[in-house]
Amino acid sequence: MKLFLQRLAQQSVSTVAEVSGRRWIYVPYDRFTDRTGPLTEQPPEHTAIVIVESTAKAHRRPYHKKKLVLLISNMRHFALEQSARGVHVLYHFSPLSHGQALRELQRDRGLPDFVAMEPAERELRLDLAQARQEGLRLQLVPDTTWLSTMEDFLAVYGAYRSGRSYVMDHFYRRMRKQTGILMQNAKPIGGQFSFDADNRNPYRGEFPIPDPPTFAPDEITAEVINYIAEIYPHHFGVIDGFDLPCTQADCDRSWAFALEHLLPHFGPFEDAMRDDYGQLFHSRTSAYVNLARMLPTQLVGDVAERARTGLLPLASAEGFIRQLLGWREFMRHIHQQTDGYRLLPVPIEPRPRPQEHSPDADEPVDPYQPPDPYEGARPSFLRADRPLPAAYWGVRSGLHCLDTIVAQVVQEGWSHHIPRLMVLSNLAMLCGYSPRELTDWFWFAYVDAYDWVVEPNVLGMSTFADGGLTATKPYVSGAAYINRLSNFCPHCRYDPKKSLTSDACPFTALYWMFLERNQDLLGANPRLRMPYSTLRKKPASELVQLRARAEEAIEHLASFKRPEYGST
């Protein structure tokens, strides 16, 4: 950090007189923007910001090394960018939490009151609330990086009520009408709000996939890489080959490339998976949007404008906009309304026994004891609680789809949404792995994961642990889905067209046994009527073989030793 501090000192305001009278703004670790919010409300020369780099936060989970590099390098570059504008920057390194570090700064250095946009992460909001109770003087103002407000959400659904179901499409339609995006004369352009049904093609080389730009680490990023490798050596993932954008200029260049070269073919192949082109035509903007390096307003506006002028196919534009204007906003509101999924009327997965207890300890684990407020919610509607196997840490399982995707996550901290949903989460649901453990794995393994996005997505749509709050049925499938939308299966030792033999892809047997295992909970679901009808027609002898194949697969995955603390 020596080089970073030298550069910051060279640019920073140094005298007390120059700093006095400035408005002090706290910049959370996921809001690196001067395009909206408090930083836009006065000139740079009247602005001072405080940024906290907290080792307590980084040590809370074994976050992917590249996630830490991405966040901290963007944080340090943002500090330098603001200092170059004339903003006074106080960059504070602390072993404490963010809230406690801010309270310490006010107490020990006599700093004035701070103002900040309301943090996106519940975890940070709790931290700041505790510090405010202990004397931190901090005013929170609305976070203007979002495309919607809680009032927009409540206008569609009303206040959260236990037991009701939420369908994202209602919210998405309202936001399209309210904003006028892809609308004409109060009607959706193209005659329909969603083109999702058209966006489910496998990729067979129809269009060349352009190589996305890479961003060689500058001296500041290189310093961060060395720092992360030294301080967090046992965290998940590899650090070599880091090439992600860490400056505002590089983030802007990354978006310009995606808009022109990737998104034109995004729509039809949105759900496709490949073992040779993991990114395909996905923009990979989620990590930068979640850091506010890219603002949803700009991205949605740019995409809508290119669709209006014919430079972007409507299906591609709508599919991209639905992710930002619909799903992202919807999940954020769901997370807040349910207090991070803590208010759901569904069974709770027992928490693991404390490490000091032996596995066969006599004391029962009480699943209803008050949890640590920073510990994640543990809904488990399907009563799943098996530990996540070593394959999710990169130990090869023999399943080509799983091993390929996990290898990509270990290397990059990223995969697009279908591998997340239909391979990683699908397998977890079929096998009965702990929804909470899977959620935590996504949280530390992916560069774009924060509590407000990962908890409702994984506990909801991906594992059905919420009992159908946000999904009308579990998103499970056998081998046929993966075979149809990917090129994984021809490169695998298992055959997707078989279900009973030892060389049969286990996804199919696991699928039927998932339905059988959960028939009391899911049998009345109208969207599962056809598969349950098929299940009931299967001969008893076939069911015996399916059970044996499914159990064999679960035992095989459980037979490998998992690396400790996310090391690879």
Mean pLDDT of the chain: 93
pLDDT at res. 15: 57
Q: Report the DSSP pairing between strands 47-54 and 88-94.
A: parallel
Domains 150-337 and 390-566 equal at CATH topology level:
no
pLDDT at res. 162: 80
Q: Check if the beta carbon of residue 395 is closer than 8 Å to that of residue 445.
A: no
C-alpha dist (Å) from residue 376 to 351, 435, 440, 456, 471: 10, 11, 8, 11, 20
d(CA 300, CA 256): 13
Q: Report the DSSP pairing between strands 183-184 and 187-188.
A: antiparallel
Distance of alpha carbon 130 from the chain centroid: 25
- Spell out the domain ranges in the chain: 2-141, 150-337, 390-566
CATH architecture of 2-141: 3-Layer(aba) Sandwich (3.40)
Average pLDDT across each block of 10 residues of the chain; the chain has 568 residues. List them in order.
86 67 96 97 97 95 97 98 96 96 95 96 96 97 97 94 88 97 96 91 94 96 97 96 98 98 96 96 98 98 97 96 98 96 91 50 44 81 97 97 98 98 98 98 98 97 95 96 97 95 96 98 96 97 97 97 65
Torsion of CA 98, 103, 108, 111, to 10 degrees: 100
Q: CA angle, corner 459, sides to 193 and 392, nearest 5?
A: 110
d(CA 558, CA 209): 37
pLDDT at res. 470: 92
CATH class of 150-337: mainly alpha
Q: Does domain 390-566 have CATH number 1.10.150.300?
A: no
d(CA 186, CA 180): 8
Q: Check if the beta carbon of residue 178 is closer than 8 Å to that of residue 300.
A: no
